[in-house]
Amino acid sequence: MAPLIEPSSTEGELYPVVPLREFYDNIDADALRLNLRELKSLGRAVQKRIGHKRVVGSALFPWHDQTTLWWFEQGLVSVMAAAGWEVTWITDAHYTFDDRLLASLPGTVEVRRGAGHLDSVDSSDGVYDGVVSLFVEDATIRLANRLGLPLASYSIKNIYRDEATLTELPQSPPVLWHTFAGSRNFRSGTRRVLQPEQWQLRGAPFPLNRYYLQPADIEPDFEVLIFGSKSRDYPLVLEACKQAGVSRVAAVVDAEHIESTREIGKAHGFDIHVSEPLSHLKLSAFLQRTRVVLNPITPPAESHYSLSVPLGLGRPIVASDIPSVQPFVGPGLRVAALDNPEQWAAEIQALLAETESGVPFEPALTQAKERHDIHRFFASSLMETFGGGLGVSRTPAGTEE
């Protein structure tokens, strides 16, 4: 069943983060069927493990307009619908969801727009089995405590500067599933937004919604593409490219770094093909014009999105050897020291040799599927949260039925 969007007066204000019509018009039909089959298989696994559930969920966040947030929100709703669950979903997002996908899944999703709907969830809605919160925040924790229900709580964003420190703890085991393994995501300046010692943290390398990615078997235009870092970090990898014998270099940079990137490239003997940040589908296409991705990110910055996305498109990566990158090290990603261009050059040469027969690069695709898949991430966390006796249906007052 397609989701119910309310109130109808907000319809004109909703916008697509990912142009779904363009996506469905251009995706290979066989690839789409494979994506859908994988999702339905995970849904059946959740259904078999913990049965049918009726849950109320929320996604409340002030900057609720980013592609990566849509990836996660759509992914979580999709997994619950694939499991055949009844979902009341409360969100302050103004983007649309993938009605075509949700209509092909056995569950039902009712979307209620606005945080105020949290206060109206009570016994008149019937019996819920649990609460799901895409962002860790006090209002939904209070809702779970008020209903006496287990809470599946996630942290899938960086902390913003003025974010308030949490004051609530769930009555159920305070487990927080977060997508920034290796990071210090729970601080805002010197102030801790989250008190990690009060929660059981379950981290994962940044998952991506592979349903909306389609690796292409094309002849790349570039040998390397620099992605996910600032122009100040480029001299290191450009020197490494010279040592590795690379001639065709591209970069995706913020608008204010375009000219400096070109100048740095010229200083190192490269005519860099420079692109501004692109929308999801255009970025996917651009990343696939290269054989190898370079991410020379320097602390304290983190760039999890720019690590997982190339892997999901079958593009191997050489990245900085820093703590936040370590969870991604694997068959599709190698690391090199920030002060060692010779090491970068050696890793670049090795991956260029391994991709000489073409891309997508199978080890990168395998790593993306096994370690960075958003549907697997949500399915496993929901099974652990609502399985093992945690998912007992309760009345809103918190007593056993």
The yes-or-no verdict on residue 144 having pLDDT over 90 is yes
Q: Specify the pLDDT at position 300.
A: 73
Q: Specify the pLDDT at position 389.
A: 39
Dist. CA 109–CA 56, nearest whole Å? 10
Mean pLDDT of 106-123: 90
Q: Which of 145, 1, 8, 146 is nearest to 86 (CA)?
A: 1
- The fraction of the chain above a pLDDT of 90, given in percent, is 63
Whether 238 and 214 have beta carbons less than 8 Å apart is answered as: no
- Compute the chain's Rg from CA coordinates: 22
Q: Where in the chain is the domain with CATH 3.40.50.2000?
A: 212-371
| H helical segments located in 184-335 | 234-244, 258-267, 280-287, 305-312
Q: Specify the pLDDT at position 396.
A: 26
User: For the whole model, what pTM was predicted?
Assistant: 0.90
Instruction: For domain 4-207+373-386, give the fold.
Output: Rossmann fold (3.40.50)
Q: Specify the pLDDT at position 184.
A: 61
Q: Determine which of 41-45, 291-295, 326-330 has the lowest per-residue pLDDT on average.
A: 326-330
Give residue-wise pLDDT tens across range 186-226: 766 666 777 777 888 888 888 999 999 989 888 999 999 99
The yes-or-no verdict on residue 2 having pLDDT over 60 is no
Domain 212-371 has CATH 3.40.50.2000: yes
Q: Specify the pLDDT at position 268.
A: 95
What is the four-CA torsion angle of 373, 374, 376, 382, rounded to 10 degrees? 160
pLDDT category at 398 given cuts 50, 70, 90 is very low
Q: Specify the pLDDT at position 317.
A: 98
